[in-house]
Amino acid sequence: MDVTATTARHSIARVRVRPIRIAELSFVAFFALVTGLPLLFLLGGSFNLAAPGQPAVYGLANWARAFSDPATVNALWMSFLLSGARLIPAIVIAVLFAWLIARTDMPGGNAIEFFCWMAYFIPDFPLTLAWILLLDPNYGLLNSLALELPFVHSAPFNPYSFWGIVWVHTSTGGIWFKVILLTPVFRRLSAALEEAARVAGAKTTTVLWRVTVPLLSPMILAVAVLSFIRGLQSFNTELLLGTPAGIYVYSTRIYDYIRREPASYGEATALGSVFIVALGILLFLYWRFLRGKRRFTVVTGQGYSTARVRLGGWRYVALAACALYIAIMTLLPLVFLTLGSFMRRYGFFNISSPFTLAHWQDVLRDPIFFLALKNSLLIATITAGVGVVLYSMAAYVLVSRRAVMAPVLEAFCWLPHILPGILLGLGILWLFLATPLRFVFYGTTWGIALALMVSDSPVTTQAFRAGYLQLGADLEEAARVAGASWGYTYRRVLLPLLAPVAGAIGLMNFGGALTSISTPVLLYSHQSRPLALLMLEYSVTGELERGAVLGLLITAMICVMMLIGRRLGLQLSGQQ
Amino acid sequence: MAPPVLEFRKVVKRFDTVTAVDAVSFSVHRGEIFTLLGPSGCGKTTTLRLVAGLEEPDSGEISIDGATVAAPGRGIFLPPEKRRLGMVFQSYAVWPHLTVFENVAFPLRVRRESSEVIRERVGQALQTVGLAGLPDRGATQLSGGQQQRVALARALVYEPAILLLDEPLSNLDAKLREQMRFELRALQKKLSLTILYVTHDQTEAMTLSDRIAMVNSGRLEQVGAPEEIYERPATPFAGQFLGRTVMLEGTFRRSAAQQWVELADGERIPARMDSTGSLIDGARVRLITRPEDIVILPPDRLEPTQIDAIVEQVDYLGDCFEYYLRTAGALLILTAPKKDRYAVGAKVRLGFDPARLSLYAQ
């Protein structure tokens, strides 16, 4: 009794400071600085005719110049066109995959799902390099093979084209991302709805296209719009395949503006601003559309039956088709990328002693490589580590119900999700150039890590938020009532319980930091260059074999991480 | 009398537009089990969380052991970890990443007790709740009943000023619930604990409590011993929530010499003088009593506290009959022993006990 009485009396004299309020304010300030301010600089910068860091001169000249150049408008149009063109085949394929995995008795569904996860994490840059090595009109292996045929007289494939870009995109992460999103949706659909259609006399395929897909159409559409927006953020494939053919999207155009001498910040920001406005309109329409689509509420998961569609003999055909798709679109390119890294001159099998270790030796002996490796590991560790600590706390503030500015904080957390990497990089570059932050961050590994951390904020915060919600408040409150301070509770109760979430998201962010190109591409210097950008430099300067070596190394690192993740018991398929 | 262990003075807690706790005042004394009883969403759990410091009141004052722990008007708020309370959550909130021993030891580790003290007191606490054999078991390997005991041991291990129990028995099956109820009462007596108990289960409230507070829409409708509330509910809500009630509507009449209630079909029931203070002649009223306080009698008996009724349906329940009786514009459901039997359509008399009739203005 005495203990309580005295502590209580102490508290009377003390002015109350609420830690959660301080945390909330710090987070809002942090996000305003690293997300809000870059966006503001981006939008404001387009009206600023002076270089960043110089006294501002306002005017419309940037916009005038950007839009008097038809190339700018074309780039914007091309972004939408490319993202749209690859959406349709990708959605059809993803729906088929998800349906086969989740709703049919296809054998090995879980293994296929796991491979989809693996494929999702394979970085797109090495895959694009691999397709170049297979499809290049001069030395591409598939072209050479095709030319052997008697009736083929010119190279049939050309990756440096609109359809080349679309093709490569159907093998990279985007398609697997859709499978990963759609599979749980298909899994939760009540089988009774399909069974009713069967009883009414419909065939399996009729049920799929007439019942299952229409029922899930709002979800599929949601995934499609999300994919479209993500597609607009694409940079690597467009840079490697589009630039040689003169096909520019807005992101490669911005890259071009900043990389030219002298850099045209004004035009770049003007183009970025137009894109943001267009994206804003798109998102608003999407939100309006989703709001009206609450009609199909059958996907509740309540009392659903998990009976699966019987495919009969077709189930082996289905399995073979899925396996073949993964093999052709993912494994085949990687195998030939590996082969290419060991060839003296890629595609020239007829020269004497075509195979060599020279590229590997050259790359691995080069001190530039070790500096880049060190930078990459440092950047990825900072990004993953600091991100986990920071966003686990931000998510805590958001779920605590005590945040006064929750909507603001939430908006800031989500902003980087729609902001393409190149624009985020541009905004942050501007932030570094225009503020004293440049002394610590400009051109350094810390600067790159900060940008990557910002781009991780939506997914990381969301993952922790889901984690907290799943834990419920009781476990934490029990610790508080038992006498533990918040810090003690966080260390001893919350963090250990969320270790699997923290592990999974940390690994993902680590991998993302290793492979990211578009976010750091405007922020690095020779001293802070990470592996992925060294790979980019080799690839755009014609040293494809060296690029292949680095691409393979990065892919290998990602695969090792995936296996570590699996060993740690992280959930990589929807089924428990 | 010693100061109350817990005191609420006009405490208000709002969530957006909803007032969850509405100017609530009560006090809990040392060594008693004080129960907050009410339907879900009535504010009883919020009240408990205000005690624990998991919610901050909007106004009013809360004190524990004579020290103010929350008084927004004076800028006082003591965080939960400084209140020296024990709490058992409805979900038990046993930490799944810790063993039974570590779960129970947690409050002592927070208080930086030496390892000998921890070993001894955790051992004692586990012994007390009947879990002596399982200290190294992982918390997730326990049954619901065992988890509950862990939660209880964890709340008791550092001798809290008050033990807060939030529907602790609601997740147990019926048999285990009865057993735990019994053990909880025994434990409370043995350790002379002060307990604030939250439940929506009237049986739990009746059997466990020294005093019950009936909570409805954020207000305390009545505070008293279980018997007092059952026998003399202060409001129709209190009567209805605690046990079954029978309700008849009518008009209050008073003359110089007597007062009575006139029912729908002209029947009259005399009203006790003490319950009618401010009622005026002609007021619409409700008469409420317990079904077990009504006797079914043959039609020839005539007393002033009886009214006519007709049997509409009879159900055989094995140990008794259940009668659906139409009377004074209402349908009453009463059980009666098997020795008398009335057929459907039979006329009977219903006898009321005037001491157990409560009268409320409508």
pLDDT tens by residue, A168-187: 988 887 888 888 888 888 88
Surface-to-core class of residue A117, CB atoms within 10 Å of its CB (0-12 exposed, 13-18 middle, 19+ buried): middle
Q: Which residues pair with residue B36 across a beta bridge?
A: B198, B213
Q: Which residues pair with residue B324 across a beta bridge?
A: B313, B333
Query: Is B65 in CB contact (< 8 Å) with chain A?
Result: yes
Query: Is A58 in CB contact (< 8 Å) with chain B?
Result: no
CA distance A129 to A551: 8
pLDDT tens sequence across A326-384: 998 888 899 988 988 888 877 676 777 778 888 898 888 889 999 999 999 999 999 99
Q: Which of A258-262, B15-19, B72-76 has the lowest mean pLDDT?
A: A258-262
CA distance B165 to B185: 13
- Smallest Cα–Cα separation from A38: which of A545, A574, A422, A510? A422
A239 phi/psi in degrees, rounded to 5:
-65, -45
Q: Locate the chain A residue with the closest alpha carbon to B55.
A: A402
Whether A468 shows a pLDDT value over 60: the answer reads yes
The pLDDT of residue A570 is 58
Q: Which of A284-298, A541-555, B119-133, B206-220 has the lowest mean pLDDT?
A: A284-298
Share of chain A above pLDDT 90, in %: 17
Q: Which residues pair with residue B62 across a beta bridge?
A: B8, B70
pLDDT band at A307 (very low <50, low <70, confident <90, very high): low
Q: Which of A292-301, B119-128, B294-303 has the lowest mean pLDDT?
A: A292-301
The pLDDT of residue A2 is 41
Rg, C-alpha atoms of chain B: 25
Q: Are A322 and A112 in contact (CB under 8 A)?
A: yes
Within 10 angstroms of residue A411's Cβ, the number of other Cβ atoms is: 13
- Are B77 and A483 an interchain contact pair (Cβ–Cβ within 8 Å)? no
CA distance A294 to A315: 34
Helix (H) or strand (E) segment spanning residue A111: helix A109-121
Query: Is A4 in CB contact (< 8 Å) with chain B?
Result: yes
CA distance B124 to B130: 10
B284-289 and B268-270 strand pairing: unpaired
Q: Which residue has the tokens 């009504």?
A: B294
Q: Are A453 and A383 in contact (CB under 8 A)?
A: yes
Question: Rounded to 10 degrees, what is the CA torsion of A7, A11, A16, A22?
Answer: -20
- Are A477 and B93 an interchain contact pair (Cβ–Cβ within 8 Å)? yes
CA distance A234 to A174: 10
Residue with the bigger pLDDT between B220 and A208: it is: B220
Q: Which residues pair with residue B85 across a beta bridge?
A: B162
Q: Which amino acid is at B231?
A: E
Q: Are A403 and A397 in contact (CB under 8 A)?
A: yes
pLDDT band at A532 (very low <50, low <70, confident <90, very high): very high
Q: Which of A139-148, A306-315, A520-529, B200-209 has the lowest mean pLDDT?
A: A306-315
Whether A276 shows a pLDDT value over 50: the answer reads yes
- Are B154 and A478 an interchain contact pair (Cβ–Cβ within 8 Å)? yes
pLDDT band at A574 (very low <50, low <70, confident <90, very high): very low
3-state secondary structure of B163: strand
Residue with the bigger pLDDT between A448 and B2: it is: A448
Query: Is B330 in CB contact (< 8 Å) with chain A?
Result: no
Q: Which residue has the tokens 């009729």?
A: A206
The pLDDT of residue B135 is 80
Q: Are A112 and A94 in contact (CB under 8 A)?
A: no
**Which chain B residues have a beta carbon less than 8 Å from that of A12?**
68, 74, 76
Q: Is the dihedral of CA A352, A358, A360, A363 positive or negative?
A: negative
A389: left (phi over 0), alpha (psi -120 to 50) or beta: alpha
pLDDT tens sequence across A369-418: 999 999 999 999 999 999 999 999 899 888 887 777 888 888 888 888 87
B270 phi/psi in degrees, rounded to 5:
-65, 145
Query: Is A110 in CB contact (< 8 Å) with chain B?
Result: no
Mean pLDDT of B101-128: 91
Measured distance between the N- and C-terminal CA atoms of chain A, rounded to whole angstroms: 49
- Are B81 and A5 an interchain contact pair (Cβ–Cβ within 8 Å)? no
Contacts across the A-B interface (CB distance below 8 Å):
109
**Which chain B residues have a beta carbon less than 8 Å from that of A480?**
53-54, 79-81
Q: Which amino acid is at B357?
A: L
- The answer for residues whose C-beta is within 8 angstroms of residue A462's C-beta and 6 or more apart is A395, A413
Q: Are B93 and B141 in contact (CB under 8 A)?
A: no
The shortest CB-CB distance from B78 to any of A11, A472, A475 is to: A11
- Are A480 and B81 an interchain contact pair (Cβ–Cβ within 8 Å)? yes
Q: Which of A68-72, A207-211, A327-331, A515-519 has the lowest mean pLDDT?
A: A207-211
Mean pLDDT of A532-551: 89
Mean pLDDT of A498-510: 86
- Smallest Cα–Cα separation from A75: which of A279, A237, A238, A276? A238
Share of chain A above pLDDT 70, in %: 90
**Which chain A residues have a beta carbon less than 8 Å from that of B155?**
482
Nearest-neighbour CA in chain A from B55: distance (Å): 10
pLDDT band at A292 (very low <50, low <70, confident <90, very high): low
Nearest-neighbour CA in chain A from B89: distance (Å): 7
CA distance A397 to A464: 11
**Does the model's pTM come out above 0.80?**
no
Mean pLDDT of B81-89: 89
Largest Cα–Cα separation, chain A: 99
CA distance A448 to A229: 24
Whether A11 shows a pLDDT value over 70: the answer reads no
The pLDDT of residue A410 is 84
Q: Provide the mean pLDDT of chain B.
A: 87
The pLDDT of residue B59 is 94
B253 phi/psi in degrees, rounded to 5:
-125, 140
Measured distance between the N- and C-terminal CA atoms of chain B, rounded to whole angstroms: 39
Nearest-neighbour CA in chain A from B20: distance (Å): 16
- Are A481 and B110 an interchain contact pair (Cβ–Cβ within 8 Å)? no
Q: Provide the mean pLDDT of chain A.
A: 82
Query: Is A475 in CB contact (< 8 Å) with chain B?
Result: yes
Query: Is A15 in CB contact (< 8 Å) with chain B?
Result: yes
Interfacial A residues in 453-472 facing B (CB < 8 Å) = 472
